[in-house]
Chain A
Amino acid sequence: MTALLQILFDALSLGSLYALGALGIALIFGVMRLVNFAHGDYIAFCVFALLWPSIDAAAIVFAGNLPTIILIPLILAIGAGLSVLSEILVFRRFRNANPATMMIASFALGYVLKNFLLMLFSSRPKSIDLWSNLSQQVEIAGARIPLLQVITITITIVILIALTAFLKRTRFGLEMRAAAENFTMARMLGVKANRVIMLAFAISGMLAAAIGLILATQTGTVDIQMGMSVMLVAFIATVIGGLGSLPGAVIAGFLIGGASVLMQVILPLEARPFRDAFVYGAVIACLIWRPQGLFAPKSAKQRV
């Protein structure tokens, strides 16, 4: 029972990261059919924003020393700003381009961001002490669970509820959902394209910042590559969930997180190093089974 609880928390906290990532990618895909490969670099950028530029091995914490109450909004704002800026400077000019061109443009942008960080900070991972008091454990029903996991899951749930409320209850949210389903029709009803797209980028950037903060706290390191793996899984989750479906992306994120943790537990010892091969194999099986995604909205079928 306690072991089961531990597995559950492992799965939920890993799934949380994937779900937040998938949401960030799905939001932008929904409104402009862009698979944003720069998303992982937004995550890294937000984490590096905690530091003062230096190529030394030791991290010089700068913004990271601010009180939490200022720090979190600041990093979220940086994520949103970076994301919106990339839409204004780059993606806006690709609105009518084909998906492959947009995808490569986003990859090139990510490459630029990555190498910009590399220039300022060097490629060596640095250790950072961010809210390290959260690494203690708490006891839940007899199981010892890292406090950070509990917080990660809680934050994710709060973000999901807040975002749902935003999408369901506000005018902007209504416009975003409509735009995600049929952008041209939404525009013909007076929904302003630029505003909706910029809003999607802003929220996506904030989600990237949130992931960055969680990752930095969990691992205690800052690394250029740190957003990459989350982004790739998130990208997969977006497709498995059904492109254009935000709840689908979130659920698929949790599913992949759960599958990874579960395989780690149930695979025989000698097969464990190959865990990810099984996870990706499951992804392929899933795509063959439901090519349009597990939770594809009916209207999205013919478009992909």
Chain B
Amino acid sequence: MTLLSVDNITVRYGRLTALRGVSLKIEDGETIFVTGPNGAGKSTLLKAIAGVVPAAEGAIMLRGQVITGATPESTARLGFSMVPEGRHVFGALTIEENLMLGAGMRKDRARVGDDLSQVYDVFPMLKERKDKPAGVLSGGQQQMLVIGRALMTAPRLIAIDEPSLGLAPKVIDQVYETLLKLRDSRGLTLLIVEQSSTRAMMTGGRMILLRSGQVVLEGDARTLARGDTLKKAYFGYGEH
């Protein structure tokens, strides 16, 4: 079943076109990586889906509903949970408040408590400090918190923008390990933006390469990694 379909969207910031005619489909339970050089429009793609920036053209559908032009809160309520670049914890709120904020829109109140203890099981470090302001956490811990917070929204699809940005390699491994574990145990769909394609090749899944606001390559991450098509497409060789 198609969970999310992005159909030919174009996004402009003033005179600058960040995305031009981008299309993609995400099936339920899939893991999909979006990579590409700086300024390729990766973050813009996520923001457009989340409803934070408007799409000038094209349509976006989530779980069979058109969400083009919808507010971020209504898209979130349909099960799209976004973890934007730079993590964005609420530093003045406690860790538990950060987590509970994500649960506010849920109808299944009864399960919220279970989910909270499950998040604490996965990230015991969060439980230890649950009453501390989130601002005191380190970068890696904040990344855990925002993933936990995204889980608390009971999402169908989690979109993560650069989860490894600014983290030590060991911590990155930890983040990915947790993500994949959660994907398998909860049947989550993952949409991950990474500037480098290495992680996608290691993890596996589908990969989309964006450059200058357009999809230039799409396919299985491991297959693509074998040839040098990826490298060529990434840097734009052989086009002139």
Contact = CB atoms under 8 A, between A and B. Distances in A.
Direct contact of A and B (CB under 8 A): yes
Interface of A: 171, 174-175, 177-178, 181-182, 184-193, 297-299
B92 to A, nearest CB: 5
B32 interface: no
A185 B90 contact: yes
B56 interface: no
A190 B104 contact: yes
B105 interface: yes
A193 B71 contact: yes
Contact of A182 (B77, B88, B97, B105): B88
A190 B92 contact: no
Contacts of A178: 90, 93, 97, 101
A177 B72 contact: no
A193 B105 CA distance: 13
A299 B73 contact: no
B97 A185 contact: no
Contacts of B149: 189
22 contacts: A171-B104, A174-B93, A174-B97, A174-B100, A178-B93, A181-B92, A181-B93, A182-B88, A182-B90, A184-B52, A184-B72, A187-B73, A188-B76, A188-B81, A189-B104, A189-B105, A190-B76, A190-B153, A191-B104, A191-B105, A193-B73, A297-B91
A185 B76 CA distance: 11
B90 A298 contact: no
Closest 4 CB pairs of A and B: A190-B105, A187-B72, A190-B76, A185-B88
A191 B101 contact: yes
Given A185-B88, A189-B105, 13 more contacts: A174-B100, A177-B92, A178-B90, A178-B101, A181-B92, A184-B72, A188-B73, A188-B82, A189-B101, A191-B101, A193-B71, A299-B90, A299-B135
Most central of B92, B104, B149 by chain A CB within 10 Å? B92
Contact of A298 (B77, B88, B93, B135): B135
B230 to A, nearest CB: 31
Contact of B92 (A191, A193, A297): A297
Nearest to A192: B73
A119 B52 CA distance: 44
Given A171-B104, A184-B72, A298-B135, A190 B77 contact: yes
A237 B68 CA distance: 41
Given A174-B101, A174-B104, A298-B135, A188 B84 contact: yes
B102 interface: yes
Interface in B130-155: 135, 149, 153
Contacts of B100: 174
Contacts of B50: 188
A298 B52 CA distance: 24
Nearest to A184: B52
Contact of B91 (A181, A184, A190, A193): A181
A175 to B, nearest CB: 7
Given A171-B104, A174-B104, A187 B92 contact: no
Nearest to A299: B91
Contacts of A175: 101, 104
Contact of B90 (A177, A187, A190): A177
Given A178-B101, A190-B104, A298-B135, A185 B84 contact: yes
Contacts of A171: 104
Contacts of B84: 185, 188
Interface string B74-89: 0011000110100010
A175 B76 CA distance: 15
B201 to A, nearest CB: 29
